[in-house]
Structure 1
Amino acid sequence: MSKFSSVENTQKERKKNNVKKGLAVGLGLVSVFSFFLPYMQFVFKDTTYLVSGFQLATAKGFRVHGPELSGLVTIPLLTRIAVIAGVLFAAAGILLLFFKKPVLAGFAYVLSGVTPLIVLISTASIQTAVTQLNISKISISYLWPFLFVLIGGIACAVLSIWTQGAEKLAESIFLVFSCVSIGSVILITIYIFAAGSPAIMQIGLGQFLFGKEWNAEAGTFGILPLILSSIAGTVGAILLGVPVGILTAVFLAETAKPQVARLVHPAIELLAGIPSVVYGFFGMLVIVPAIRSFPPFQNNTIGDSLLAAILILAIMVLPTIVSVTETSLKAVPQAYREASLALGATPVITIFKVSIPAARSGILAGVILGVGRAIGETMAVIMVAGNVANMPSLLGTVRLLTTGIAMEMSYASGLHREALFAIGLVLFVFIMIVNISFTFLSRRGVQMDAR
């Protein structure tokens, strides 16, 4: 009787799996067929283009007629590749299911479902190109085949892997979601490089990075003052904020009484929750007048300056550094401290010779996050830095990379707009270099400790 029940359950499971495979294959076929259906709609003023995926992959571009200029707006190569890849991956998923490779089929379907996101990102350059023809009325609509490839790809992947059992499905879902962050970084990287590279190629890498003048009306785009101001502002904020943040974390984790810690913690959390525009108001109404009226600085500054930006950024990075450092210090085993004290070390020596070195990797992580906050801050800096593209001077007005993008993007067009995207690319590369450097130093420190 038990053997009969086992056979019956096996047959039921096979039928369910066959249904799942059939649904996955059917949805995959629809994804392939949607390649030939209306995929996107572009409206440029009074001209409408309803295009299929096949047309996106094969057409030369869109003929656009502006009030003064007309031209052929080419379809980005990345868009063509993404549309074709969506079809190929969907077809590969169907074939892999027939060859009884459901896990590989699932990954192929996932890749097929990701391709519409790449199309979404890459078609933004079409809007930029049309804007150069002085056409402001632009609309891009994504139709149901576009959405079906996105949703259907994920559904097919789930159905394919589900045929291997619920455990395998759960493992695959965990893997997919763990890859979301990596995929997001890859998509952002692709978009930033695709949007910023053309301007750098047109202006010239040397002229763009080392030019000392930024004048969009004259077509001069040199961002050396912005780069140096961003570096100076970030370094100054870290030099002021890191010691204060680490010592505050040491106080909270090592020496503070519980009653005092209960008072300090809410204040740190409040600093983390204050919007950046409020920091900007504080800087504009308190820090800037204080700098302007400070006796040694009188008649040498209007208050809006690099110094004001450094001070406001130093305050803004504190919550991140304090919270991460405190968590790292509390994670140090208590046995380390007891061993140090047993050897005759004082509590202060134990903190600086044992606890802080043991928590070094976590402290570096807090510093990295603080650097990211300082580099990427925009609104507060706009309100206190003066926003003039001058070479950095402690008491002079400056413009940082982020503020340059935020102030001009709303009205920029053509090469000017592409140059702002190129600033974003430089900022992105700068942050990557900082993160990689801190990661290298952290690993090197761990290796030295192991030796």
Structure 2
Amino acid sequence: MSMVFNSMKNTRKDRKKNRVKKGMAVALSLGSVFSFFLPYMQFVFKDTTYLVSGFQLATAKGFRVHGSGLSAVVTIPVLARAAVISGMLFAAAGIILLIFRKPVFAAIAYALSGITPLLVLISTTSIQTAVTQLNISKVSIYCLWPFLYVLAGGIACAVLSVWTQGAEKLAESIFLVFSCVSIGSVAFITVYIFAAGSPAIAQIGLGQFLFGREWNAEAGAFGILPLILSSVAGTAGAVLLGVPVGILTAVFLAETAKPQLARLVHPAIELLAGIPSVVYGFFGMQVIVPAIRSFPPFQNHTIGDSLLAAILILAIMVLPTIVSVTETSLKAVPQAYREASLALGATPVITIFKVSIPAARSGILAGVILGVGRAIGETMAVIMVAGNVANMPTLLGTVRLLTTGIAMEMSYASGLHRQALFAIGLVLFLFIMIVNISFTFISRRGVRMDAR
């Protein structure tokens, strides 16, 4: 009887706690709905300040902005309007679902409500771009406490909603959320890049943008073919030089190196991985560029800053990633594979190239993918050695890569020029996606062939 009584008592306590959690979630979400009518964001355009609520963001036509003798109405982006309204509606939907005992769906609604302020913040980049076209450089945007309340309140309400089902469900939901963070981050970045880059491509023209040979923002010429070809050439050259060296170094460390020697090589590889990009660039500027300029066959043919210098510095920078991942993959190959190969009469070298490396193929490809990503995305070191002129790529000529084009001009760009730089980011993003998908396809195809 005492056990039954205690069980009933615990059940009543759990129900009471659940009612408290539901009450807290409803109260917080009511605050999110009410914050729709409170000062949400503050916009400062030179000497003009606008303090707007969520309701005004959703209903107002735009901001009247005065600058350099010009006056215009800067419209509020559709994304900002939709996000503010969605935040309020999702918060209200969460209340209704929680009242009708649908805690999981309520948690989803609350989480979506909490995301909406981030969408509003993203959409303000188009407002900044429109204002800078009026020659107003002083643009400030402040997120006020209702903005932060909706963001934090949505997350808190989602947690409270799931928690009403018990601590186990809460833990499972937290694990699920964190496991989806990477997917959500990729989706979030993808949507932002496409939204920011596609307007410029539509205005310039896809053919003119991708295949135009001249990049001159002052003349309104936005052709990025030299940048694309330079990036492809720089990445391909770095891979051709860095991948064989990296893989063979990893084979040495994992298969043939004596422990004493391996203990000396490992710190050097780790040090290469920890060196900042600007230090690589400084090394390239002070050592590689003068060496290329003074090399007898190249004298009077180059100033040193060139595609070749970029390839050499990128090849050095991709080595730590390739070596580390490849070595880990080789060490994960079962020792029984090597013993079986040696027992059949194969030499140690044949065993390495016919057994160990094929067995670690997927891991090696992963290291190559990471190395390619490092080469494609590197900016600072390349800026310091490539010359940064948008020429068609030649081995000894100055070039500008996609990443350096964005980094060098984003600080002062405005209007279509700024949008074109976002479009370069979109092209770079698609380039990296194609590389990753291609390597993944090759890896899976290799695994299927091995299975046969």
Give your verdict on TM over 0.5. yes
Task: Identify the range of structure 1 (11-20 vs 418-427) with the bigger mean alpha-carbon deviation.
Answer: 418-427
User: What does residue 245 of structure 2 align with?
Assistant: 244
**How far apart, in 1, do the equivalents of 2:140 and 2:64 lie?**
15
The corresponding residue for 2:343 is 342
Aligned equivalent of 1:266: 267
Matches within 5 A, 1:316-355: 316-355=317-356
In structure 2, distance between residues paired with 1:242 and 1:415: 39
**Higher alpha-carbon deviation: 232-241 or 87-96:** 87-96
Superposed, which structure 2 residues align to 1:371-386 within 5 Å?
371-386=372-387
The aligned counterpart of 2:15 is 14
Verify the 8 A CA contact 1:68 1:134 in the aligned structure 2. Answer: no
Q: Relative to structure 2, which stretch is displaced further, 191-200 or 302-311?
A: 191-200
Name the CA distance, whole Å, in 2 between partners of 1:418 and 1:197: 8
Deviation at 1:408, TM superposition (A): 1.1
Q: 1:100 maps to which residue?
A: 101
| Whole-Å separation in 2 of the counterparts to 1:89 and 1:336 | 56
Deviation at 1:102, TM superposition (A): 0.8
Task: Report the AA paired with residue 52 of structure 1.
Answer: S
CA distance in 1, matches of 2:261, 2:157: 56
Partner of 2:139: 138
306-315 or 57-66: which moved more?
57-66
Return the offset for 1:185. 1.5
Same amino acid, percent of matched pairs: 88
- The aligned counterpart of 1:423 is 424
Structure 1 residue 406, shift from structure 2 partner: 0.9
Aligned-partner residue type, residue 127 of structure 1: Q
- Residues matched between the structures, number: 451
Q: Which amino acid aligns with 1:137?
A: K
Q: Give the letter aligned to residue 210 of structure 2.
A: L
> Secondary structure of 1:71's match?
strand
Instruction: State the Cα deviation string for residues 369-393 of structure 1 (Å, max 9, x = none).
Output: 0011000101110111011100000
Please state if 1:225 is matched with 2:237: no
Amino acid in the other structure paired with 1:431:
I
Deviations 1:33-87 (A, max 9, x none): 1112111111111221111112212222111111232211111122122212211
The CA distance in 2 between the partners of 1:346 and 1:81, in whole Å, is 67
Structure 1: tracts of 5 or more residues without a match? none
Please tell me whether residue 119 in structure 1 is matched to residue 120 in structure 2: yes
Q: Distance in 1 between matches of 2:138 and 2:364?
A: 50
Alignment-derived partner of residue 391 in structure 2: 390
Q: Compute the displacement of 1:438 (Å).
A: 1.0
Partners of 2:49 and 2:187 lie apart in 1 by: 32
Cα offset, 1:149, TM superposition: 0.7
Instruction: Give the match's secondary structure for 1:43.
Output: strand
Q: How far apart in 2 are the matches of 1:199 and 1:28?
A: 39
CA RMSD of aligned residues (A): 1.0
What is the identity, as a one-letter code, of the residue corresponding to 1:66? G
Tell me which residue corresponds to 1:180.
181
**Aligned partners of 1:211 and 1:223 also within 8 Å:** yes
Counterpart residue identity of residue 397, structure 2: G
- C-alpha separation between the residues in 2 aligned to 1:112 and 1:410? 33
Equivalent position of 2:82 in the other structure: 81
Instruction: Determine the C-alpha separation between the residues in 1 that align with 2:122 and 2:179.
Output: 22
Matched, 1:286 2:278: no
Tell me whether 226-235 or 346-355 shows the greater mean CA deviation. Answer: 346-355
SS, match of residue 64 in structure 1: strand
The reply to whether residue 167 of structure 1 matches residue 168 of structure 2 is: yes
Amino acid at match of 2:176: L
8 Å CA contact retained: 1:65, 1:71: yes
Work out whether residues 122 and 191 of structure 1, in 8 Å CA contact, stay in contact via their aligned partners in 2.
no
Give 1:24 deviation, angstroms: 0.6
The letter of the residue matching 2:216 is N
Superposed CA deviations along residues 100-147 of structure 1, whole A, max 9, x for unmatched, are: 111221122111111111111121111111011111111111111110
CA contact (8 A) 1:118 1:187 kept: no
State the alpha-carbon separation in 2 of the partners of residues 269 and 398 from structure 1. 30
Superimposed CA distance per residue, residues 347-384 of structure 1 (whole angstroms, 9 cap, x where no aligned partner): 11111111111111111110110011000101110111
2-structure distance, mates of 1:77, 1:442: 42
SS at match of 2:385: coil
Amino acid at match of 2:447: V
CA distance in 2, matches of 1:404, 1:217: 15
Question: Matched residues in 2 for 1:218 and 1:85: separation?
Answer: 42
Contact 1:66 1:133 in 2 (8 A): yes
Residues in 2 aligned to 1:71 and 1:443: alpha-carbon distance in whole angstroms: 55
Instruction: Letter of the 2:407 partner, please give it.
Output: A
Tell me if 1:207 matches 2:204: no
- CA distance in 1 between counterparts of 2:28 and 2:435 reads 44
TM-score, normalised to structure 2's length?
A: 0.98
Aligned AA for 2:5?
F
The SS at the match of 1:301 is: coil
Does the 8 Å contact 1:106/1:160 carry over to 2?
yes
SS of aligned partner of 1:70: strand
| CA deviations over 1:168-219 (Å, ceiling 9, x no partner) | 1011011111112222212211221121111111111111110000111111
